[in-house]
């Protein structure tokens, strides 16, 4: 069941890994070049699972896992470039400047960022913030999706 918890925030209960992947697939259909999505939530709450569903829906095949050590993994489809970040091991947000974060963010690519708070304040703005948490059973997750830009509002409204 969907529970609206504010004008531009929606909550979704995800009862299985497949449902989390399906939410990712739903999001995939609403992305435009340049969309930035922040993925919050503790270890193992399903951030990468959601990204996997999203990338599969865009036609990406092969392994999708958290780029914990490399910080970023690029993917390419016929008409989109997607960068999947995992900043868990980022020691200093300014490392992002050294790796050329501005180019990643400004090139029209879609950026999906796990552990975005690690990148603050170098990484600050997104269109959509997704927060995942464990629900009432080990295989249940709750996703809160919050719009943080005009495009984010359109995205949340279309979900
Ligand atoms: N409803 C669910 N949605 C997503 N994952 C689930 C669900 N139920 C159980 N799981 C399990 O939870 C784990 C989620 O792992 P995942 O790598 O997606 O988490 P993560 O948030 O990316 O963690 P990390 O911060 O370590 O990168 C997987 O082992 C998956 O099988
Ligand atoms: Mg992950």
Mutate to test the pocket of ligand 1, among 14, 49, 56 (most ligand atoms within 8 A of CB): 49
Domain that holds residue 66: 12-144
- Which residues are found with C-beta within 5 Å of the ion, ligand 2? 47-48, 66, 114
Distance from C-alpha of 125 to C-alpha of 122, rounded to nearest angstrom:
9
**Is the predicted pLDDT of residue 88 greater than 90, yes or no?**
yes
- Inside any domain, residue 5: no
- Inside any domain, residue 42: yes
The answer, yes or no, to whether any atom of ligand 1 lies below 6 A from the CB of 17, is yes
Work out how many domains the chain is built from and give that number: 1
- Inside any domain, residue 61: yes
For the segment 102-143, what is each residue's pLDDT rounded down to a tens digit?
Answer: 889 888 999 999 999 999 999 989 999 999 999 999 999 999
Angle (CA) 152-42-71 rounded to 5° is: 75
The helix (run of H) or strand (run of E) holding residue 48 is helix 47-57
Of ligand 1's atoms, which has the minimum distance to the CA of residue 86? 27
Sheet containing 110-114, strands listed edge to edge, beginning at the edge strand earlier in sequence = 2-6, 9-14, 141-147, 128-134, 36-40, 110-114, 81-86, 72-76
Of ligand 1's atoms, which has the minimum distance to the CA of residue 66? 27
Distance from C-alpha of 133 to C-alpha of 140, rounded to nearest angstrom:
9
- Inside any domain, residue 48: yes
Mutate to test the pocket of ligand 1, among 17, 25, 64 (most ligand atoms within 8 A of CB): 17
- Inside any domain, residue 86: yes
- Inside any domain, residue 158: no
57 near 29, Cβ under 8 Å? Answer: yes
- Inside any domain, residue 17: yes
Q: What is the mean pLDDT of residues 139-156?
A: 96
Q: Categorize the per-residue pLDDT at 7 as very low, low, confident or very high, splitting at 50, 70 and 90.
A: low
The answer, yes or no, to whether any atom of ligand 1 lies below 6 A from the CB of 49, is yes
40 near 116, Cβ under 8 Å? Answer: yes
Q: Categorize the per-residue pLDDT at 69 as very low, low, confident or very high, splitting at 50, 70 and 90.
A: confident
State the CATH number of the domain containing residue 96. Answer: 3.40.50.300
- Inside any domain, residue 103: yes
**Is the predicted pLDDT of residue 3 greater than 60, yes or no?**
no
- How many residues are recorded in the chain? 159
What's the chain's average pLDDT?
A: 93
pLDDT at position 4: 45
Distance from C-alpha of 114 to C-alpha of 35, rounded to nearest angstrom:
15
pLDDT at position 107: 81
Q: What is the mean pLDDT of residues 57-61?
A: 95
Taking the CA of 47 as reference, the closest ligand is 1
**Is the predicted pLDDT of residue 27 greater than 70, yes or no?**
yes
The answer, yes or no, to whether any atom of ligand 1 lies below 6 A from the CB of 87, is no
């Amino acid at each position: 069941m969907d529970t609206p918890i504010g004008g531009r925030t929606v909550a979704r209960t995800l009862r299985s890994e497949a449902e989390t992947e399906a939410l990712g697939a739903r999001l995939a259909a609403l992305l435009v070049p340049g969309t930035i999505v922040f993925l919050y939530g503790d270890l193992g709450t399903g951030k990468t699972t959601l990204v996997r569903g999203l990338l599969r829906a865009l036609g990406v095949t092969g392994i999708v896992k958290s780029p914990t050590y490399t910080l970023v993994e690029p993917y390419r489809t016929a008409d989109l470039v997607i960068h999947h970040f995992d900043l868990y091991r980022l020691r200093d947000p300014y490392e992002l400047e050294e790796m050329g974060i501005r180019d990643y963010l400004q090139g029209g690519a879609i950026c999906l960022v796990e552990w975005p708070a690690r990148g603050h304040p170098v990484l600050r703005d997104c269109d959509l913030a997704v927060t995942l948490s464990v629900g009432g059973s080990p295989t249940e997750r709750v996703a809160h999706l919050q719009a943080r830009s005009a495009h984010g509002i359109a995205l949340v409204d279309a979900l």
